[in-house]
Amino acid sequence: MSATVLIAGLWGVISVHSKRKKVIPTRFHRQRREVCFVPEKKNGEGYEAPVFVPWESLRVWIFETRGVTQYGVQQQYGMGIGYVLPGTNQWVKTEFMTPALPLALAEWEALRGYMEYEINTLDEIQSPLSIREEGDPPWEGAHTIRNAHRRLHRRRRNGEVGWCYTLGWYLYHLLTFWTLPGYLAELETWLLRRSGTKSLPPEMVEWSKPLPKEQWAKPSEELVRLSEEVRRIRQRDPQQSIEEVFAEAYRNQEVVA
């Protein structure tokens, strides 16, 4: 059983890696406040010309699906990004799955933080309760599990967890081959970095170049007002969920308009 799981895991890493090598990544340009997409052709052979979309014109949504299978009820979560193809009324969208709903929200918040608040690294937005440490590389690996190990003993010394929790932690990680999942993650990262970046379209390369500060694009007045309203609501009630905060901010803006 364990060997089967290991083989399946290795096959999954190789399969995902082979697919990623063919993908031209989406790029976000903070200074231009634009996003560059390179759509894949419908026949799957190659890519279309790059599409440059204003950052504030994107539409992003979080979804949760539920279905019944022979194994019971299953739930899936994910995030979608959509935009109107410039010069047309055609909507283009892409969706991807995440392990949980909060992670789908976190994906968007990481992008939004980069574009709106000049956040450049995960260390700047990482929760203090996480298992990343200062100076860690921006990917998960064996260091992640070692960090978790040190954190477990620190919490045990501080009386935050008991012996039952500690025993369960060790049992789980022994069953999952201790640091092996971390080394598999590092192997996948190494393969991606070794393969190099796929040749980018010349238009995308030119668009990606930095701009002089006086040419940087500014956020719209509507976004500035909405951001100020969100901060005001958060200060009034820090415990209010982010979904309710944004819903109230949009309602207030509609009243003002």
The per-residue pLDDT for 256 is 55
Residue reference for tokens 């979904």? 243
Which of 45-54, 75-84, 177-186 ranks highest by mean pLDDT? 75-84
Mean pLDDT (whole number) for 89-106: 85
CA–CA gap between residue 153 and residue 231 (Å, rounded): 38
- Fill in the DSSP letter of residue 123: G
What is the value of pTM for the model shown?
A: 0.68
- C-beta neighbour count of 177 within 10 angstroms: 15
| pLDDT at residue 228 greater than cutoff 60 | yes
Full 3-state SS string of 123-173? HHCCCCCCCCCCCCCCCCCHHHHHHHHHHHHHHHHCCCCCHHHHHHHHHHH
pLDDT tens across 68-95, in order?
Answer: 777 777 888 899 999 988 878 888 888 8
Mean pLDDT (whole number) for 22-37: 89
Phi, psi of 68 (to 5 degrees): -105, 125
Q: Between the CA of residue 113 and those of 68, 104, 190, what are the distances in Å?
A: 36, 14, 27
- Fill in the DSSP letter of residue 47: B
Beta-carbon contacts of residue 252 (< 8 Å; ≥ 6 apart): 229
CA–CA gap between residue 81 and residue 60 (Å, rounded): 5
Greater confidence, 236 or 179?
A: 236
3-state DSSP call for residue 158?
A: coil
